[in-house]
Amino acid sequence: MLKASGADVPAVLAARDLVPLLDSAGIRRAVILSVAYMYGSPSRTVEDEYAKVRAENDWTAAQAGEYPDRLIAFCGFNPLKDYALQEIERCAKLPQVKGLKFQFGNSWVDVRKPEHVEKLRKVFAKANERRLAIVAHLWTDPEYGREEAEIFLNQILPAAPDIPVQIAHFAGGGPGYTDEALEVYANAITAGDPRTKNLYFDIATVADEQPKEVLQKFAERIRQVGLNRVLYGTDTGPPAARQSWLIFRTTVPLTDEEFKTIAGNVAPYFR
């Protein structure tokens, strides 16, 4: 739902356009994720960057406010920026905002750099203090995998022990996912690692255009992390919400009962 214009940003999708899409997919409530982090990408030169980040987050929150019984909002920004902690404090005061969205790839986050880890720990700790949930797109580049997942699990996630942390695209970038990264989290969950107690995963674009062997492994990982941790999600599309669910429903080898469980899951930030 980016209000900005330009060749590399998505078209505006207002709440009045989104709600009918939710209705057609049988979705009662949804979170809309601000993409204000795009203004802070090192690949862009933006005048009055932080002002635009604030305006985009405010716009997203206002859209959610038009349908308060259906929508909530997450603020977005580059977590490495000097204004990151300030924006958390500001967003925490917006009644429609229940969380934060980070896109590590767009923000050029490299968790192999200690200075990046330290900034992320402060951001996650501040989100934990303000009780704002986090959705994080962790995939950064083709080299992303086990090492990055272990750093996130061991050094960053512990800074936010009391809030839901949702890993986007099942620990990949979508379409598909990165199994060697997901395996780190799956094994930690299986072992009862307390750091994973509030860890969730969304399935946005994971099943799109994937071969049979990937879909089979995806199903196995869903069972390993636990059906109760798996949340439906979709990018802005196309495909729209209804089509995204149908792709997931008709390609991933899960049982009808398992699909029913996932369809009925309610993200903790809605409760």
What's residue 201's pLDDT? 97
Number of folded domains in the chain? 1
What's residue 236's pLDDT? 62
Domain-embedded: residue 143: yes
Beta carbons within 8 Å of 95's beta carbon, 6+ residues apart: 65
Domain-embedded: residue 2: no
Q: Where in the sequence is the domain holding 120, given as residue range(s)?
A: 15-270
Q: Can you read off the two tokens belonging to residue 158?
A: 């512990």
What's residue 3's pLDDT? 42
Q: Distance of alpha carbon 201 from its chain centroid, rounded?
A: 8
Domain-embedded: residue 7: no
Domain-embedded: residue 51: yes
- DSSP for 111-155 reads TTSHHHHHHHHHHHHHHHHTT-EEEEE---STT-SHHHHHHIIII
Beta carbons within 8 Å of 157's beta carbon, 6+ residues apart: 124, 165, 195, 196, 199
Q: Do residues 98 and 72 touch, judged by C-beta distance below 8 A?
A: yes
Domain-embedded: residue 133: yes
Domain-embedded: residue 5: no
CATH number, position 154: 3.20.20.140
Domain-embedded: residue 215: yes
Give the residue carrying structure tokens 């209705």. 23
pLDDT averaged per 10 residues, the chain (length 271):
46 87 90 95 94 97 96 98 98 97 97 98 98 97 95 98 97 90 97 97 92 95 97 76 90 96 95 84
Domain-embedded: residue 8: no
What's residue 129's pLDDT? 98
pTM above 0.95, yes or no: no
